[in-house]
Structure 1
């Protein structure tokens, strides 16, 4: 059941703002339906946390 919920949520909001620690470690901060919404949220976060490595990614299911 948990796997289906994640897949459904990712399908609805594939764009994510993540905090990047290494190629194998990242934390999803928030998800968005559009790239422009994700970019806007990223800009706000970068002003508040300038030292963090934040990125916008798209998560697609295989």
Structure 2
């Protein structure tokens, strides 16, 4: 996970066909992600978006 991704853990994801997803944007705060989601919903009402908290978990094996 890059440093930018660590600083911006909230992701706005778009659902695609065949159970695929695409990260539309990353945010530092959930309220920013929700505001951006509302704008996108107004621009394209037929598209579905989800907000997720993306955090990388370090395993014990990665430290050795």
Taking structure 1 as the reference length, the TM-score comes to: 0.80
1:41 aligns to 2:46 (yes or no): no
Change (3 A) 1:7 1:20: same
**Between structures 1 and 2, the one with greater helix share:** 1
Cα deviation for residue 35 of structure 1 reads: 0.3
Question: Which structure has the greater CA radius of gyration?
Answer: 2
Runs of 4+ with deviation above 3 angstroms = none
Please provide the CA RMSD for this pair: 1.7
| Candidates 4, 8, 11, aligned match of 1:16 | 11
Give unmatched runs, 5+ long, in structure 2. 58-64
Give unmatched runs, 5+ long, in structure 1. 1-5
1:22 and 1:42 mapped to 2: Cα distance? 19
Q: Give the structure 1 partner of residue 22 of structure 2.
A: 27
